[in-house]
Structure 1
């Protein structure tokens, strides 16, 4: 009896592209670093102008808040960008989920907020260190509700769970393999690591995400991760896309890094 030997083929990489005339800059996790955001926006403006005319959009991948010193400033900057530049969109990250839950008075999320870098966020909204440390959870929830401007809450509640552009899918954390995009759980989109990170198969779209910090940009056949840990490394990264071209800009580099 003859037996057949089968070998598992590696999935073909996704040949992702954007429609003609479209240009996108996707921006990784900012985490309260308004200083780095301003630097990166200046780099994007220069790069965009040098590349010629296109329909250029910005996509923020979420986690605007926590850990860094000026979450309030970041939220306001991105909120105004979305008003002044309508082709600017922003995803909700897990830290926005925690922050909104704390603002709504969820005691467990108030505790989680403090463990996840929210102390700095509350300072940026004008609360004092002593009053934060001395308040109990119920008191702190009331303080958060009073301190955060209503327009910030409305903006953060309006953020998208995912965005599609051409052959690209933009999410904060990742997706659950084998599940259609429209059926993905918001929790997975904001929190997932495994099995997404190790999955080598085809998602149908090339997934662009943040959430998981790496020393450098991660490029796989089925995903691109651009969270380079801005709040502690000083490196905030953007992915530029046009046609089939991809390149990277970051606050620690002097010029864009092209990708073949």
Structure 2
């Protein structure tokens, strides 16, 4: 059940976000990178169970890196945030990256507008997951919409979204939502590229000695290309949420949910 304690008060969610880069000098025993969840709670629960069972074969804490786009399009964004905010299982460290959908959602929560692009980009299903149906916000005044948002979105969800990371770097690998612009260090990248880039990233030759693990561009299967791995398999449309396990020796193993797809918007 969505937490209703600590609802938005006072500032309308306008506190600045604190998205930063994270760099770790050493590897854990294994890193599991989870693709775009997009509000698919059943798939997330199923996939996390598989990951946690696999992680018990390693000594020391393993990491789960969530590659952004936790929200929107799928039916249960509020439940996804509830789960991710909860403490992780023993032996697991969670690291959460920002995606373009988190950026759009926070922009809306900061200044709600009925004509916001986010509402046509899957944000309407996120609002519905908090009990805000379209009939409640369509045509509402700015003040009325702000009051609706304040009364339904838990502050702890906003705080969680404001404190995501832009990238995670470990030796030889960068984890990011969309990709990297060639020739620029991860911590010097434009935020818009980290959250939105496609063609310029895909078309560039790989950077020697660097592998980029990303989501953002859905496909029918996990993509393992030279210098990059794309883990987005369009869970909201296909019912398949994917993850890859990476180990310091460079090996990659794929994990996927086995929950039937729920009905929802396509594309």
Report the TM-score when normalising by structure 1: 0.83
Q: Does 1:118 align with 2:158?
A: no
CA distance in 2, matches of 1:185, 1:200: 19
Q: Which of 245, 251, 255 is residue 245 of structure 1 equivalent to? A: 251
CA distance in 2, matches of 1:80, 1:198: 39
Q: Which of 166, 171, 176 is residue 176 of structure 2 equivalent to? A: 171
Any gaps of 5 or more consecutive residues in structure 1?
Answer: 1-17, 254-260
Aligned to 1:31: 38
Secondary structure, in 3 states, of the residue corresponding to 2:138? helix
Q: Does 1:196 align with 2:201?
A: yes
CA distance in 1, matches of 2:26, 2:61: 10
| Range with bigger deviation, 140-149 or 166-175 | 140-149
Deviation at 1:187, TM superposition (A): 1.3
Deviation at 1:143, TM superposition (A): 2.0
Deviation at 1:241, TM superposition (A): 1.1
- Residues 105, 142 of structure 1: 8 Å contact kept: no
Aligned to 2:186: 181
- Residues 175, 192 of structure 1: 8 Å contact kept: yes
Aligned to 1:211: 216
Q: Which of 212, 215, 222 is residue 227 of structure 2 equivalent to? A: 222
Secondary structure, in 3 states, of the residue corresponding to 2:62? strand
Any gaps of 5 or more consecutive residues in structure 2?
Answer: 1-24, 260-267
Q: CA RMSD of the aligned region, Å?
A: 2.3
Which has the larger Rg? 1
Q: Does 1:89 align with 2:95?
A: yes
- Residues 222, 232 of structure 2: 8 Å contact kept: yes
Secondary structure, in 3 states, of the residue corresponding to 1:139? helix
Report the TM-score when normalising by structure 2: 0.81
Deviation at 1:200, TM superposition (A): 2.1
